[in-house]
Every structure is written in C-alpha cells, then in structure tokens.
Amino acid sequence: MMLARVADSLYWMGRYIERAEHVARLADIMLTATLDRAVDAGRTQEIAVAAAGETPPAPGALPMQAARRLVFDRSSAGGVLSSLARARENARQVRDQITTETWERLNLLYLKVTGETAVDLFDMGASAFLHDVIADLHLFRGAADATMSHGEGFRFLMLGVYLERANLIAQLLEVCFGDGRGARSSDHVAEMNLLRMACALEPYLRRYTAEIEPRLILEFLLFDEEFPRSIRFATARIEENLGGISRLARGGGLTAPDRLAGRLKARLEFADMEELRAMDASALLTDVVADCARIHDAVHDAYVAYSLETRLPA
C-alpha cells in the first residue's frame, strides 16, 4: 500500500532516469562519431537526434551544437538536463519514500549538471562530462537497488525504467530499420555506433563475434533474453514488476496492466526471426511502442487516477 501520487512519482522518476541515461549516451556516441569520416558522422548524428525524438538539425549544424541541445536545452522535453530536473523533482515529491543514499546520488548529479560551470565543463570535454553523467546514473541505480526496500515503491520505479527502456530501444531501432531500411546493407562503422547507442557493442561482440550484420543487430536488440537493453528483456521485467505490484497492491489476480504486459511479452517471446526478416521489423516495432503506451495508460487508470466510486471502503 502506498499513496497513489507517490507510486506515480516513483514511476516517472524511473522513466526520466532512463531517458537521461539514454540521451546522454546518444549525445556521446554522436560526438565521438564526428571525429571519424564525415559521411558516417552525418548518418550517426541523424540517428541520434531522431532517436531522442528531436527535430532534425539544420543542414550544416555542428555536432557540438546538436549535442549541447540534447544535453542542456531545458525546453526540449527529452533532453538530459530536463529529464534529470524532472526526475529530481519527482524524487523531492517522494523524499520520504526513497532512501537518503538514493536521493543524494540524484541530487548530486542534478547539482552537477545545473551548476554554473556545467556548460564550460561540457565544452572542455564533452565525452568525459557525459561519461560521468552516465556513471552517476549507474550509481543511482545501484544505490536504489542496494538500499531501498524492494517492495511496491521500488517496483514502480523499475516499471518506469523498463517501460521507458523498451520504448527508447524500439524508437532507436525504428529510426534505423523502419521503413524497409532493414534490408539495406549499411556501413560497418555506423552499425558499431548503433550498437554503442544501445550500450550493446561489447555484449554483441561476445555473442556474435565481430561479424556485424544488421539482421543480427536487430535479432540481438529485439530478442536476446539476457541482454538488459533488449526489448525482450525489458518487457519481461515490465511484466514481472507489474505482477509484483498487483500481488502487493491487490492481493493477486490479473489486472488490466498485467494482461497487456503479458501479451507484449508473449509477442516477443514467440516472434520468429525468419518470418520477421521476410516482412520488415517496422510493424513489430510500432506494436511495441503502441503497447508501451497502452500499458502506461492502464497503470495510470488502475493505480493512480482510478475513480473513487469504484474504490470506496466497504
């Protein structure tokens, strides 16, 4: 049992944390890519900006400008800084529900990226700056995992993290493989960068060796059971956390969010790579994004904004 508003805040905190990490990584990969050949750089920049949900940069825009916008622009809803600010605002709302260790990690990071010297530090060494942001977010996750009780609140937090992750990875794949792009043979470096954007390069290489193929990337990021940034992995966690919540909150029995999450999980578990290749990945990715949105709404209706008439005390 927890306050509906608190559950909502923890959930959003999870979403914003995940988004901040993802966009920080996109910005970093984009900047590093521009050190290489210009053609790839352009393509990587396009992918990064589109995957972050931003409008494409004006032709000739410098990667540094695009990156600064992804990180610091408060008006862009998906930016690193605005995501961190929102995550922290949600954390402040539930300051009594999260541990001091967890709060301090996030507050420290927030103070760092909003500090007076932050933009200068970024300009002097964007890669180091973004690397630190991502490392701090990992510390936050670690602190939450190690110090918070893994009860309802923690599950709402993790639900937010994985729902956002499934969504973000699906968006990234859509940008790269949507519209029949899946068949296109593409550049080795751009593909490595795609894997880096999903934080997947090293795990991929261990699984498939250095033979990087679009088909295998898609397979890995969609279906791998063990890689934490595959959509299948994320949807399994969504189902698991929702199951935990409904057991804790309702004493069992499937709820609307449970059913939707179960269906999404099954969709990925029983999908056939061969069949997928024959068509294209677009349809599946679109379904994933739509299912995530449906789960989000269902969670909101079941636990946060339910109508009082249905839940009056006996």
Question: In which region does residue 76 sit, left (phi positive, over 0), alpha (psi from -120 to 50) or beta (all else)?
Answer: beta
Residue 255 beta carbon to other proteins: minimum distance, rounded to whole angstroms: 11
Residue 184 beta carbon to other proteins: minimum distance, rounded to whole angstroms: 46
CA diameter of the chain: 69
Whose Cβ is closer to other proteins: residue 2's or residue 64's?
2
- The window from 36-44, 58-66, 87-95, 187-195 that contacts other proteins (CB under 8 A) reads 87-95
Count Cβ atoms below 10 Å from residue 104 Cβ, excluding itself: 13
Q: Is 5 in the site for other proteins (CB under 8 A)?
A: yes
List all residues 6 or more positions away from 215 whose beta carbon is below 8 Å from its beta carbon: 182, 273, 277
Q: 54, 175 in Cβ contact below 8 A? A: no
17 sits in which H/E element: helix 4-33
Query: How far, CA to CA in Å, does 303 sit from each of 16, 132, 182, 296?
Result: 19, 35, 39, 11
Count Cβ atoms below 10 Å from residue 81 Cβ, excluding itself: 22
DSSP state of 59: T
Give dist(CA 234, CA 232) in Å, integer.
5
Whose Cβ is closer to other proteins: residue 58's or residue 308's?
308
Q: Is 150 in the site for other proteins (CB under 8 A)?
A: no
Q: Is 4 in the site for other proteins (CB under 8 A)?
A: yes
Exactly one of 93, 114, 127, 282 binds other proteins (CB under 8 A); that residue is 93
Q: Is 254 in the site for other proteins (CB under 8 A)?
A: no
The closest alpha carbon to 231, from 290, 169, 282, 171, belongs to 169
Pattern of binders to other proteins over 32-71, x per CB under 8 A?
A: ----------------------------------------
Give dist(CA 63, CA 48) in Å, integer.
11
Exactly one of 245, 264, 281, 298 binds other proteins (CB under 8 A); that residue is 245
Q: Is 312 in the site for other proteins (CB under 8 A)?
A: yes
- The window from 28-36, 43-51, 93-101, 125-133 that contacts other proteins (CB under 8 A) reads 93-101
Q: Is 139 in the site for other proteins (CB under 8 A)?
A: no
Q: Is 116 in the site for other proteins (CB under 8 A)?
A: no
Whose Cβ is closer to other proteins: residue 10's or residue 197's?
10
- Which residues contact other proteins (rule: CB under 8 A)? 1-7, 89, 92-93, 95-97, 100, 103-104, 107-108, 111, 152, 245, 249-250, 303-304, 306, 308, 311-313
